[in-house]
C-alpha cells in the first residue's frame, strides 16, 4: 500500500501544482471575479432566450428566435440528453473559468509526457511550457473557449494513441476512448480536424517503422483497437455530432445554390467556404519568426508603448496630451499581413532553442513525427502566402474547405515544439550520450538559435521596412505620425530580439553548467522552469492579465437595457428588431433583449446570410417587412441611440393572392428585389407540381393570427371563407419544423427564399408549427449503445486477461 502511494505521490504533486499555478495566474477568480471575453459576451446575448426557456420549461428548445430571425441551437447552447461525457468534463474543469482551461492544458500535456516515460519533474516542466504558450492564453482572453477546450484535450488523445501503439492495448483503448470523447465534446470541429493530421503523420511514421522492424501485425492490431475506441468516442457524442452534421449543410459552411454574387458577378464555384474567406487570416512567412521573438512583427494590433515612446513624444506637442497618452496605450504596432491580431503566437525563445537542441540529440520515430508536424503546420498556416500547398488542400483534402483562419493550424506546432524540446531534455539528462557529444550538440544549437537572435538584434532594424497594411491612414491623420510608429516598431523589435538572445544564452548556460557538473539535474530543471515561466508569462501578461477581470455580475449580465430597449419591450407581442446602430450580423447584444434579425455566430443559416447580403444590406424594406421587423434601432445625427416603429410590418402571418414560381435559387433571391410581400410570394419550382395553385382569391374577411408563442411551438388561428395561402415570418428549416392543421400533419413550403408558406383550407382552423428534430432521438439511441460498449469492453477485456494469467 505504501509502495503504491509512493508511486502515485509525484502525480498528486503535479496535480496540486497545476491547480495552484492555474489559480495564481488567474488570481482574480479567487475574488469571485470573471474574465471579460468579448466572444462570450455576445454568446450570452445569443443564448439568453434558450437559457430562459430551459429554466422555465425544464426542456431543450433546440431552436431560438432571438437571433438571425430564427436558427437551430445545436452549436449555440444545447444540453444534450444523457451527456455523461460532459459530466466528466465538468469534473475535470472544476476550477473557475478560465483557470479551468489552463489546468486542463497542464494536466493533459503532463499525461502525454508521462505516457512517454518522461521523469515527472521534467513532465511538469513540459506541461508548463505547453500551457503558457502565448496563443493558448490569448484565446482565453478573447473568449475562444471551445477552441481552448479542444486544444487542451489534444495531448491526452495522443497519449492514448501512443499507449496503444506501444502495445499497452487495454489502457490505451480506455484512455483514447475517454480522451477522444472529451475532445469531440469540446465542440470545436476545426481543432479536432487538425488533430487528425497529427494522428495521420504519426500513423505514417509508425507504419514505416513497423514495416522495417517486421511488426506490421502488432501495428494493425493497435489500429484496430484505436478504431473501436474512436468509433465509441464518436458514438457517445452522437446527439451533438448528428445534429451538427445535419445543420452544417444548411449553414454558411454548406454549399450555396446561388451562382451569382450580390453585385451580379459570377460566384466562385467552391464546395464549402470561398478561398478568400478561408485564407483571410494567413500567417505571414516573415511573421513566423514571432514564434521565436514575440514582437517580431510588432505584436498585436494595439500595443501599449508607454510615455517614453516615439509615438507619445511626437503626439504630446501636437494634440491633447490625454489623446496622445491614449494613442500610445493602443499603438498600432502590428505590421504583418493579417487583418486583426490580438497578440503574437509566441512559443518561447528557450523552447525553440531546446527544440533545435533536440533535433541533434533525440533519435527515432517520435522525433520524425514531431518534426513532420511542425513543418506541416507552419507551411499550411501560411495560407495565401503559400498558395501551391494551400490550394491543394482546399481543392482536394476532404473538409479542409469547411474551416477558415488557416493560421490557427499553428496550434499543432505549438504542441509539437515543446513536446520535442522536453524529449530532447530527457536525452540531455540521460546517460545515453557522452559529455563530448552533448557539448557538441549544445554548440550547434547555440550557434544556430543564438546566432539568429544575434543577427536580428544587430541588423534587424535594417532588414525590414516595418510597414503595415493600414499605414497610409496614419500619415493622412497627422503628417509625421507614421515615422513615429515605425520608430517604435523598430524599438520593440530590437528590445525583443535582445531579450530572446539573452534568454537563449541563459538557458544554454544552465545546460552547460549541468554538463560540467556544476548543477544537479533537479537544480537544472528548476532553473530552466524558472526561465521558461519568466519568458512565457511575461509575454502572456502583456495581453491577458488582472485588468481583464470584472465582477461576476457584470460578466453574467453584460448588457443593460437602454431607454430605447425598455420602450420597445413595452410591446409584448411577437416581433423582430433590426439594430442598425451596430453591425447586425456580428452582434449578440440585441438578442439579449429582443428577437433580432441579426446575431453573432460563425455558422448562421446560409440562406439567411445570402438574404442579408442581397436584400437587407441594400435596405429592401419589403424584405424587412416580411421578417416581421417591427422596430428599427439606429443612431441619430447626434450619435444617440433611437428607435422607430415600422408601420408597414407584415406581422407574424398573412395571406397572399399570387405565388410566383421561379426556376432556381438565383431567380428566387433576385425576385425579392421587386416582390410585393403583402400580396405576393415567390417559390422555387422544386416545391411545386402540376396541381400547385398560384392564384388565390382575395378574401377581405380572412384573418390569421399568432395566439401562442414558444421557442419551439407556434400556434395560429385562421378564419377564411375560401382556401388561402399563408406566409409565416419564420425561418424555413425542414429538418425539425412540422406543420399541423387541427392536429393533422400537413405539408408546407419554402417561400420568399427563407420563409414558410402553406395552403390553409377554408373555415376556422388551428395551425401549429412544432420543432421536433428526430436527429436528437436517433443520436441519443446511438450514444446509449456506445456508452454500454465503452463500459463493457474494458471490463470484459480485463476479465479475460486476468483469466489468462490465472491459467498460466
In this predicted model, what pLDDT tens digit does every residue of 203-224 receive, in sequence order?
999 999 999 999 999 999 999 9
- Of the chain, the percentage scoring pLDDT greater than 70 comes to 99
Mean pLDDT over residues 6-35, rounded?
93
CA distance 590 to 582: 9
CA distances from 636 to 567, 594, 632 (A): 17, 21, 12
Q: What is the C-alpha separation between 233 and 205, in angstroms, rounded?
A: 24
Q: What is the DSSP letter of 619?
A: T
Evaluated on CA atoms 603, 605, 606, 608, the torsion sign reads negative
Under a CB-based contact definition with an 8 Å cutoff, are residues 672 and 615 in contact? yes
Question: What are the pLDDT digits (tens) for 747-764?
Answer: 999 999 999 999 999 999
Residue 272 confidence (pLDDT): 66
Query: Which residues make beta-bridge pairs with 758?
Result: 726
567-609 pLDDT, tens digit per residue, is: 999 999 999 999 999 999 999 999 999 999 999 998 899 999 9
- Provide DSSP, 715-773: EEEEEESS-EEEEEEEE--TTTEEEEETTEEE--EEETTTEEEEEE-SEEEEEEEEE--
- Single pTM value for the model: 0.91
Q: Assess whether pLDDT exceeds 90 at residue 137.
A: yes
Q: Residue 601 carries which DSSP code? A: -
Contact 576, 625 (CB under 8 A): no
Q: Helix 216-236 and helix 145-165: axis angle, to 10°? A: 150
The full DSSP string for 406-445 is GGGGGHHHHHHHHHHHHHHHHHHTSSSS-HHHHHHHHHHH
Helix (H), strand (E) at residue 634: strand 629-635
Q: What Å distances lie between residue 175 and 170, 219, 234, 237, 745, CA to CA?
A: 9, 18, 14, 16, 47
Helices (H) and strands (E) counted in the chain, each on its own, are 30, 18
Residue with cell string 531546446? 354
Cell numbers for 434: 557522452
Range 783-800 average pLDDT: 91
Strand ranges across the sheet with 576-579: 576-579, 629-635, 641-645
The secondary structure of residue 96, as a DSSP letter, is: P
Find all residues with CB under 8 Å of 161, minimum gap 6, and list them: 172, 176, 199, 202, 226
Which pLDDT score is estimated for 340?
86
Residue by residue, what is the 3-state secondary structure of 233-274?
Answer: HHHHCHHHHHHHHHHHCCECCCCCCCCECCCCCECCCCCCCC
The average confidence (pLDDT) of the chain is: 93
Quote the cell numbers at residue 116.
512517454
Helix (H, G, I), strand (E, B) or coil at 263: coil
Whether the pLDDT of residue 138 is over 80: the answer is yes
Sign of CA dihedral 396, 399, 405, 408: negative
pLDDT > 70? residue 158: yes
Distance CA 378, CA 12 (A): 36
**DSSP three-state, residue 198:** helix
Q: What is the pLDDT of residue 551?
A: 92
* DSSP letter string, 171-193: HHHHHHHHHHHHHHHT--HHHHH
Is residue 664 a contact partner of residue 742, using CB atoms and an 8 Å limit?
A: no
Determine the length of the chain.
Answer: 808
- The rounded distance, in Å, linking the Cα atoms of 91 and 97 is 13
Query: Three cell numbers at 796?
Result: 470484459
Please tell me the distance from the alpha carbon of residue 107 to that of residue 347, in angstroms, as a whole number.
19
pLDDT in tens, 625-634: 999 999 999 9
Cα distance between residue 318 and residue 379, in whole Å: 45
Judged against a pLDDT cut of 90, whether residue 681 lies above it is answered with yes
SS3 for 124? helix
Q: How far is the C-alpha of 467 from the C-alpha of 242, rounded, in Å?
A: 47
pLDDT digit string, tens, across residues 401-444: 888 889 999 999 999 999 999 999 999 999 888 999 999 999 99
Mean pLDDT in residue range 717-742 = 96
Nearest-angstrom CA–CA distance, 766 and 744: 10
Specify the pairing of strand 680-684 against strand 658-662: parallel
Contact 368/423 with Cβ under 8 angstroms? no
pLDDT at residue 677 is higher than 90: yes
HEC-encoded secondary structure of 707-718: EEEECCEEEEEE
> What is the DSSP secondary-structure string of 217-241?
HHHHHHHHHHHHHHHHHHHHTHHHH
Phi/psi for 774 (5° steps) reads -75, -20
pLDDT at 317: 81
pLDDT in tens, 67-120: 999 999 998 889 999 999 999 999 999 999 999 999 999 999 999 999 999 999
What's the pLDDT score for residue 800?
A: 83
The three three-digit cell numbers of residue 721, written as one number: 371563407
Tell me which residue has cell 467556404. Answer: 273
Amino acid at each position: 500500500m505504501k509502495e503504491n502511494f509512493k508511486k502515485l505521490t509525484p502525480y498528486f504533486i503535479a496535480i496540486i501544482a497545476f491547480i495552484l499555478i492555474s489559480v495564481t495566474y488567474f488570481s482574480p477568480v479567487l475574488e469571485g471575479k470573471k474574465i471579460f471575453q468579448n466572444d462570450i459576451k455576445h454568446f450570452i446575448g445569443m443564448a439568453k432566450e434558450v437559457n430562459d426557456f430551459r429554466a422555465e420549461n425544464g426542456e431543450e428548445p433546440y431552436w431560438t428566435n432571438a437571433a438571425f430571425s430564427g436558427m437551430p441551437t445545436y452549436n449555440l447552447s444545447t444540453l444534450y440528453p444523457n451527456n455523461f461525457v460532459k459530466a466528466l468534463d465538468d469534473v475535470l474543469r472544476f476550477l473557475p473559468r478560465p483557470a479551468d482551461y489552463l489546468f486542463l492544458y497542464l494536466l493533459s500535456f503532463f499525461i502525454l509526457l508521462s505516457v512517454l516515460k518522461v521523469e515527472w519533474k521534467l513532465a511538469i516542466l513540459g506541461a508548463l511550457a505547453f500551457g503558457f504558450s502565448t496563443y493558448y492564453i490569448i484565446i482565453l482572453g478573447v473568449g475562444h473557449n471551445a477552441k481552448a477546450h479542444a486544444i487542451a484535450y489534444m495531448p491526452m488523445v495522443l497519449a492514448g494513441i501512443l499507449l496503444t501503439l506501444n502495445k499497452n492495448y487495454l489502457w490505451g483503448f480506455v484512455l483514447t476512448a475517454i480522451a477522444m470523447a472529451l475532445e469531440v465534446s469540446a465542440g470545436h470541429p476545426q481543432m479536432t480536424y487538425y488533430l487528425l493530421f497529427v494522428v495521420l503523420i504519426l500513423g505514417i511514421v509508425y507504419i514505416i517503422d513497423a514495416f522495417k522492424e517486421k511488426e506490421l501485425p502488432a501495428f494493425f492490431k493497435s489500429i484496430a483497437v484505436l478504431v473501436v475506441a474512436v468509433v465509441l468516442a464518436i458514438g457517445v457524442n452522437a446527439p451533438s455530432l448528428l445534429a451538427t452534421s445535419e445543420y452544417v449543410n444548411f449553414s454558411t459552411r454548406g454549399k450555396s445554390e446561388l451562382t451569382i454574387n450580390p453585385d451580379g458577378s459570377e460566384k466562385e464555384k467552391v464546395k464549402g467556404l470561398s478561398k478568400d474567406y478561408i485564407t483571410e487570416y494567413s500567417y505571414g512567412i516573415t511573421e513566423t519568426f514571432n514564434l521565436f521573438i514575440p514582437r517580431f512583427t510588432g505584436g498585436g494590433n494595439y500595443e501599449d508603448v508607454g510615455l517614453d515612446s516615439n509615438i507619445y513624444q511626437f503626439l504630446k506637442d501636437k494634440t491633447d496630451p490625454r489623446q496622445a497618452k491614449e494613442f500610445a496605450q493602443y499603438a498600432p504596432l502590428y505590421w504583418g499581413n493579417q487583418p486583426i491580431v490580438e497578440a503574437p503566437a509566441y512559443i518561447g525563445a528557450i523552447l525553440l532553442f531546446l527544440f533545435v537542441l533536440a533535433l541533434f540529440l533525440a533519435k527515432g520515430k517520435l522525433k520524425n513525427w514531431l518534426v513532420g508536424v511542425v513543418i506541416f503546420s507552419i507551411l499550411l498556416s501560411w495560407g495565401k502566402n503559400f498558395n501551391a500547398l494551400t490550394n491543394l488542400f482546399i481543392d482536394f483534402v476532404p473538409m479542409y474547405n469547411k474551416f477558415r483562419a488557416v493560421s490557427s493550424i499553428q496550434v499543432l506546432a505549438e504542441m509539437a515544439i515543446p513536446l520535442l524540446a522536453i524529449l530532447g531534455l530527457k536525452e540531455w539528462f540521460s546517460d545515453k550520450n557522452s559529455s563530448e557529444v552533448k557539448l557538441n550538440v549544445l554548440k550547434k544549437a547555440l550557434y544556430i538559435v543564438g546566432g539568429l537572435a544575434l543577427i536580428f538584434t544587430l541588423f534587424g532594424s535594417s532588414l525590414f521596412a516595418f510597414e503595415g497594411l493600414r499605414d497610409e491612414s496614419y500619415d493622412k491623420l497627422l503628417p509625421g505620425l507614421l515615422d513615429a510608429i515605425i520608430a517604435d516598431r523598430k524599438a520593440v523589435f530590437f528590445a525583443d530580439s535582445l531579450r530572446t538572445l539573452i534568454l537563449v544564452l541563459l538557458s544554454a548556460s544552465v545546460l552547460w553548467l549541468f554538463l560540467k557538473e556544476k548543477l544537479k539535474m533537479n537544480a537544472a530543471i528548476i532553473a530552466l522552469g524558472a526561465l521558461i515561466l519568466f519568458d512565457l508569462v511575461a509575454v502572456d501578461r502583456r495581453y491577458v492579465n488582472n485588468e481583464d477581470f470584472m465582477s461576476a455580475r457584470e460578466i453574467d449580465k453584460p448588457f443593460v437595457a437602454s431607454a430605447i430597449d425598455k420602450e420597445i419591450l413595452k410591446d409584448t407581442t411577437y416581433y423582430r428588431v433590426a439594430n442598425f446602430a451596430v453591425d447586425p450580423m456580428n452582434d449578440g447584444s440585441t438578442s439579449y433583449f429582443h428577437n433580432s434579425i441579426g446575431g453573432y455566430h460563425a455558422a448562421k443559416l446560409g440562406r439567411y446570410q445570402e438574404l442579408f447580403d442581397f436584400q437587407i444590406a441594400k435596405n429592401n424594406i419589403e424584405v424587412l417587412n416580411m421578417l416581421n421587423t417591427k422596430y428599427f434601432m439606429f443612431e441619430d445625427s447626434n450619435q444617440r441611440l433611437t428607435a422607430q416603429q415600422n408601420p408597414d410590418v407584415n406581422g407574424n402571418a398573412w395571406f397572399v393572392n399570387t405565388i410566383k414560381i421561379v426556376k432556381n435559387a438565383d431567380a428566387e433571391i433576385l425576385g425579392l428585389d421587386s416582390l410585393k410581400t403583402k400580396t405576393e410570394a415567390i417559390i422555387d419550382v422544386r416545391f411545386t407540381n402540376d396541381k400547385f395553385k398560384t392564384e388565390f382569391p382575395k378574401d377581405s374577411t380572412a384573418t390569421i393570427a399568432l395566439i401562442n408563442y414558444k421557442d419551439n411551438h407556434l400556434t395560429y388561428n385562421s378564419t377564411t371563407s375560401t382556401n388561402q395561402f399563408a406566409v409565416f415570418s419564420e425561418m424555413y428549416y425542414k429538418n425539425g419544423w412540422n406543420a399541423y392543421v387541427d392536429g393533422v400533419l400537413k405539408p408546407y413550403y419554402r417561400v420568399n427564399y427563407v420563409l414558410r408558406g402553406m395552403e390553409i383550407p377554408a373555415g376556422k382552423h388551428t395551425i401549429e408549427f412544432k420543432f421536433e428534430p428526430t436527429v436528437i432521438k436517433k443520436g441519443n439511441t446511438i450514444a446509449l449503445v456506445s456508452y454500454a460498449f465503452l463500459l463493457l469492453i474494458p471490463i470484459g477485456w480485463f476479465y479475460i486477461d486476468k483469466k489468462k494469467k490465472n491459467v498460466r
